[in-house]
Amino acid sequence: MSVKPVNVCVIGCGSMGRNHVRVLSDLPGVELRAIVDANTQVTAHLAHRYRVPAYPTLEAMLAEVTPEAAVVAVPTVEHLRIASALIERGVHVLVEKPIAASVAEARELIARAEARGVALFVGHIERFNPAVLELRRRLSAGELGRVLHVEARRQGPFPARIQDVGVIVDLAVHDIDLLRFVTGSEIERVYAETTQRLHHAHEDMVRATLRLADGVVGSLAIDWLTPTKVRELTVTGERGMFQVNLLTQDLTWFENAAAEEDRDDDIALLRGVQEGRMIRHVVKKREPLVAELEAFIRFIHDRAADRVSGEDGTAAIRVAQAMLESSRSGLVVRL
């Protein structure tokens, strides 16, 4: 059975939006129908390259084209306004992470999408990283035993283009979402310390300690002050440790040899920790954005399909706000 291609437009063709344009231009089941960016130099280049009509504003596009679906990749503070205008027209929306600049805005977006009956999908792209999916599969299969600690590092140089939000709202939301995604547990409390060295208005470094409902401890080291790009997730449990390099999509296993000797025992008993084998698991590499956009299109056709929901997006921005609150007050914030 052939399904009619979904007409999609991209609003915001900057550093992330242009990747959506590239992937959508080549994605089966999709027709890239229009692109929009306030910067007409950016759209002129993309319009030529991908042979797609370009517009300087959403309003100008909507005067001529009503797409079935849209990707919203404008700066975060504009997510609510742009996504709402599309939802009003009955357009399905994939909004880039973070869903919006605050919990209140996120809730408003969810309410609008529900009232209009359109699909709302949030671009938490790390959920589509093949190494994360393989990690999650192995955690569900019990390979690690009980999970004790999840640590995420997301560090790199300062990106001057990000003016509207700080590193917590821009980057930490990725790892907050990963914590929820790999553990299946909610974050209950958080303590965060930040510094602001280069950004004119917001924090550019955060170190945070979190506690999840199932007792797992989370540590986040996230900043724009490190002269090399690091994207790493480490999950330590009773039987060993998984390490994911999110950039190279490598998944490495460090066995706890002491737990291996007790394999048949009750795993609640952690008798000791000894270095054991190290195994690099084979992960079939794939561009996460392709998988994310495929999932969005699948969800438009079938609302029972997996998605990153507005509630997932809201949970991430809620914890991000708690981290900001904690860094201001110097106190632990309970969620």
Ligand X SMILES: NC(=O)c1ccc[n+]([C@@H]2O[C@H](COP(=O)([O-])OP(=O)(O)OC[C@H]3O[C@@H](n4cnc5c(N)ncnc54)[C@H](O)[C@@H]3O)[C@@H](O)[C@H]2O)c1
Min dist. Cβ of residue 305 to ligand X (A): 20
In a 13 Å sphere around the CA of 238, the CA atoms on its Cβ side amount to 16
Using the rule CB under 6 A, give the single segment among 34-42, 178-186, 255-263, 267-275 that binds ligand X. Answer: 34-42
Using the rule CB under 6 A, give the single segment among 38-46, 102-110, 185-193, 206-214 that binds ligand X. Answer: 38-46
Token pair belonging to 54: 């370009």
Pick one of 20, 24, 37, 71: the residue that binds ligand X (CB under 6 A): 37
Exposure of 46 by Cβ count < 10 A (0-12 exposed, 13-18 middle, 19+ buried)? buried
R_g of the chain, CA atoms, integer Å: 21
Please say whether the beta carbons of 37 and 12 come within 8 A: yes
Min dist. Cβ of residue 281 to ligand X (A): 24
Please say whether the beta carbons of 254 and 235 come within 8 A: no
Positions in 190-209 near ligand X (CB under 6 A): none
Give 159 or 276: the residue with its C-beta nearer to ligand X. 159
Exposure of 290 by Cβ count < 10 A (0-12 exposed, 13-18 middle, 19+ buried)? middle
Using the rule CB under 6 A, give the single segment among 37-45, 149-157, 199-207, 229-237 that binds ligand X. Answer: 37-45
Min dist. Cβ of residue 124 to ligand X (A): 7
Establish whether the linkage from the previous residue to 98 is cis, with ω within 30° of 0: yes
The site string for ligand X over 46-85 (x = CB under 6 A, - otherwise) reads -----------xx--------------xxxx-x---x---
Min dist. Cβ of residue 163 to ligand X (A): 8
DSSP assignment, residue 267? Answer: T
The site string for ligand X over 260-299 (x = CB under 6 A, - otherwise) reads ----------------------------------------
Beta strand 54-55 pairing with 30-36: parallel
Give 74 or 300: the residue with its C-beta nearer to ligand X. 74
Helices (H), the chain: 17-24, 40-50, 58-64, 79-88, 103-116, 130-140, 167, 173-183, 257-261, 288-301, 310-329
The site string for ligand X over 139-168 (x = CB under 6 A, - otherwise) reads ----------------------x-------
Min dist. Cβ of residue 231 to ligand X (A): 10
Give 112 or 231: the residue with its C-beta nearer to ligand X. 231
Per CB under 6 A, 170 contacts ligand X: yes
Exposure of 142 by Cβ count < 10 A (0-12 exposed, 13-18 middle, 19+ buried)? exposed
Min dist. Cβ of residue 146 to ligand X (A): 31
- CA 172 – CA 170 distance, rounded (Å): 6
Per CB under 6 A, 17 contacts ligand X: yes
Single-letter amino acid, residue 28 = P
Min dist. Cβ of residue 236 to ligand X (A): 25
Binding site residues, ligand X, CB under 6 A:
11-17, 36-39, 42, 57-58, 73-76, 78, 82, 96-97, 123, 125, 161, 170
